[in-house]
Chains A and B, each alone.
Chain A
Amino acid sequence: MENLITVLICAPIVMALIMALVSNDKVRGILTYLFGTVIAGLAVTVAVLWFKKGEVLTFDLPQTEIWDHAILVLEYVLMLVIIYLSVKAKKGIISVLAIVQTCLVTGLELFGPKLVIVRDHMKMDWLSVIMILIIGIVGVGIGIYAVGYMRGYHVHHSEVKDRRAFFFSIMFLFYGAMFGLVTSANLIWLYFFWEVTSVCSFLLIGYTQTEEATNNSFKALWMNLLGGLGIALAIAFAFTFIGSVDLYFIVKIASQYGNQYGLLIPIALLGFAALTKSAQFPFSGWLLGAMVAPTPSSALLHSATMVKAGVYLLVRIAIAMNGNTAGQMIYLAGGFTFFMASVLAISQSDGKKVLAYSTISNLGLIVGCAGIGTKETIWAAAFLIIFHAITKSMMFQCVGAIENSTGSRDIEDMQGLALRYPKLAFILMLGIAGMFLAPFGMLISKWAALKAFVDAPSTIMVLFIAFGSATTMFYWTKWFAKILGIGEKNEKDVTEGNEYFSMFAHAIMLLIAVTSLPIISIKVVEPYVKDVFGSAVPAISESNIWTMVILVSAIFVIPLITYGVARSVKHKDVMAYMGGANTGDNKNFVDAMGEAKELKVSNWYLDDWFGEAKLFKPAMWGGIAIILIFLGIVIGGAL
């Protein structure tokens, strides 16, 4: 197993180096398929092998010493890279963050007190396996999609310099970093991988090298570095107060002793770091800015995997947050973000922006679950991670494909997509339904979360969910409604086979995940919860889950039947009602000047209510307030 994990982490990095050298498009495509298959295969193998044993595994990589040193060196390399890039872009101030944290961590490592408790550096449990599978399958799917997408992208955006070699290279590097992140138990290692993902994200956001992209990429960088600083500080505290940098040990201690002896401080700091990574308010800005990046990177980094690193970490430390101030900070930040982001999403008409807000919002929900830190919420959080990763990745890809075909990712331009691009529309509709409709996975998870919050009990979270669900419903529904409706048939679909392959693979994955929800619950999530909490109950009773599964089938079967019925009914076409001024084709009416005027039907965006101009700042300040107040309490309480 140790070796396998090593390969899992190293192989992508090697592949990244190779990809950086390939400039031929065809070769790159073939290599991507090949490497992708290898990575996915490795991920699945790891998962299967681990499952055969089915127990928590702590281990060290072979030659841990070398790894330790390598990471130490690489940390400095990373720091230098950041300094170089930020100085080059005249944003040198950012490098201060990098210098401070790197020096802090490495300084402690090199010159700090000897660690009292040294444990294994690696750990594998159910959660790691879930993450590995997500990265390995969803992530690789996105990689395959990227081959076709980037080709189309450069056809459309001729102004952007073709740096695909760089793009794919970073992508593979990112896989490796992610695998490392989710298997590390040593905080210093985790910190290192964490920084690598930040830099990957930063590089990919700046892919187009436009001014906007550069600005946004640096925004992402400094926010993520702030998170990195959080981890660095957490490490520092752990070093000095606990004498260990073993994540699990820290969590265990903290969950046992609560806020005594400042044990909660590292937990709170880790939580803080996770908030930045998961783009919770006030750190949501970077994720929104990241939408300038080509869609595969949005799908991979900014929805399916990297941002999940934040919530992953939170779920890891959740048990230590149950019922204390650190937990309050996290769940308030999460709940607040869940609500605010879903409200803000209403005012967006850019498809990717909506997805971004929705991602932030859903991450907020997971964060909230983790912050509460009970069995049920962790159950819910695990499912939210799974469903969100699959669905969102699929939707990002779909919006990207739509953009490549229609030249726009504006929701208004998706009018009648069901007629124009039936295949893409199907994916999109499945995704939207998956995001909020009963009885799809996200909703079940949300339901579980709701129930868990009621039991917690946490009135404020219940209210956040109750109101946030309502707003969530609004923005999804209006998007959904847009896709149906009339449109011109037979528009040219330039989506490539590999893109469809990935999207349909996701769709199938989603359906499998939904229908096998009970199995996943019993085989994966419940054991995990049991491992952490000592016992497990699924948040939703089994009978309900089964009803849901039946409903899922119903939701496909019933419309199929009714579709047949509806088709067979005799009818006569009639003009749509336009007050008697219809010119006959349902698209034009007689206007005030007596001429035909084209009808326009647009969605609502409620700018005066929920516009970014109105709510973004308050949301930021709200987030800042929550974090400052509770961090203050945690730290103040310890002193």
Chain B
Amino acid sequence: MNSIHKSPWLLHYDGSSCNGCDIEVLACTTPVYDVERFGVVNTGNPMHADIFLVTGGINTQNAEVVKQIYNQMPNPKVVLAIGTCACTGGVFKECYNIQGGVDTVIPVDIYVPGCAARPESIIDGVVKAVALFKEKSKDGDFVEVDEVPGDEEAETEETVAAVETEGGEE
């Protein structure tokens, strides 16, 4: 049933990264690393994406954006935090406008460390993410709506639930 591992499409969002990780993500799609070998397409549209790559930490403004994009992605989906900033906030974690890593707003499946994360690490991360799909889709009928998995702190869950659109299935 699971066919995503052959065609994982990804969406990249630059949280508050310094561009370092950003351009490395882009570099992955270019000739030298060419992730399209694995069927990866950089879609740019959450509705078409399976893997969500976030670079950079979370700040006041982009928290909402990240949550919204996450919610617009159909199941099954995985989230990759690319770079030290996205993992923990990195060197900026003490800045007044940085809440921390991506996991402060949405559940993160794979952390890819590095400042900047190397294309090789990103590829490794994607490969690991793809392996996760096997488990994810086994989790029963994914046509069912599921709330954001609650493996994070309660506070996170609340905020995420707040942006969930209403209305279940028809």
**Shortest beta-carbon distance from A471 to chain B in Å:** 31
CA distance A572 to B71 in the complex (A): 11
Q: Are A580 and B169 in contact (CB under 8 A)?
A: no
Asked if A88 CB lies within 8 Å of chain B CBs, one says no
CA distance A577 to B69 in the complex (A): 9
**How many A-B contacts are there with CB distance less than 8 Å?**
41
Tell me which residues from 84 to 117 in chain B have a Cβ below 8 Å from any Cβ of chain A.
Answer: none
Asked if A574 CB lies within 8 Å of chain B CBs, one says yes
Tell me which residues from 552 to 603 in chain A have a Cβ below 8 Å from any Cβ of chain B.
Answer: 567, 570-575, 577, 580-582, 584, 590
Select which of A567, A570, A571, A575 is within 8 A of B72 by beta carbon: A575
Q: Are A574 and B47 in contact (CB under 8 A)?
A: yes
CA distance A11 to B151 in the complex (A): 84
Q: Are B169 and A577 in contact (CB under 8 A)?
A: no
CA distance A577 to B49 in the complex (A): 13
Q: Which residues of B contact A590 (CB under 8 A)?
A: 64
CA distance A573 to B65 in the complex (A): 18
**Shortest beta-carbon distance from B17 to chain A in Å:** 15
Select which of A567, A575, A580, A581 is within 8 A of B165 by beta carbon: A575
Q: Are B168 and A580 in contact (CB under 8 A)?
A: no
CA distance A156 to B153 in the complex (A): 59
Q: Are A572 and B145 in contact (CB under 8 A)?
A: yes
Asked if B156 CB lies within 8 Å of chain A CBs, one says no
CA distance A570 to B65 in the complex (A): 27
Q: Are A577 and B143 in contact (CB under 8 A)?
A: no
Q: Are A577 and B46 in contact (CB under 8 A)?
A: yes
Asked if B26 CB lies within 8 Å of chain A CBs, one says no
Given A570-B143, A572-B145, A574-B47: A580 and B167 interface contact (C-beta under 8 Å): no
CA distance A571 to B169 in the complex (A): 5
**Shortest beta-carbon distance from B155 to chain A in Å:** 20
Q: How many residues of B contact A (CB 8 A)?
A: 21
Q: Are B47 and A582 in contact (CB under 8 A)?
A: no
**Shortest beta-carbon distance from B130 to chain A in Å:** 24
Given A570-B143, A582-B68, A584-B163: A577 and B170 interface contact (C-beta under 8 Å): no
Q: Which residues of B contact A573 (CB under 8 A)?
A: 165-168, 170
Given A574-B47, A574-B72, A575-B165: A581 and B170 interface contact (C-beta under 8 Å): no
Asked if B38 CB lies within 8 Å of chain A CBs, one says no
**Shortest beta-carbon distance from B112 to chain A in Å:** 22
Asked if B45 CB lies within 8 Å of chain A CBs, one says yes
**Shortest beta-carbon distance from A576 to chain B in Å:** 9
From B45, B72, B74, residue with most partner A Cβ within 10 Å: B72
Q: Are B65 and A572 in contact (CB under 8 A)?
A: no
Q: Are A574 and B165 in contact (CB under 8 A)?
A: yes
Q: Which residues of A contact B163 (CB under 8 A)?
A: 584
Q: Which residues of A contact B47 (CB under 8 A)?
A: 574, 577
Interface residues of A (CB under 8 A from B): 567, 570-575, 577, 580-582, 584, 590
Interface residues of B (CB under 8 A from A): 13, 45-47, 64-66, 68-69, 71-72, 74, 143, 145, 163, 165-170
Known: A571-B170, A577-B45, A580-B66. 4 other contacts (CB 8 A): A572-B167, A573-B165, A575-B165, A580-B64
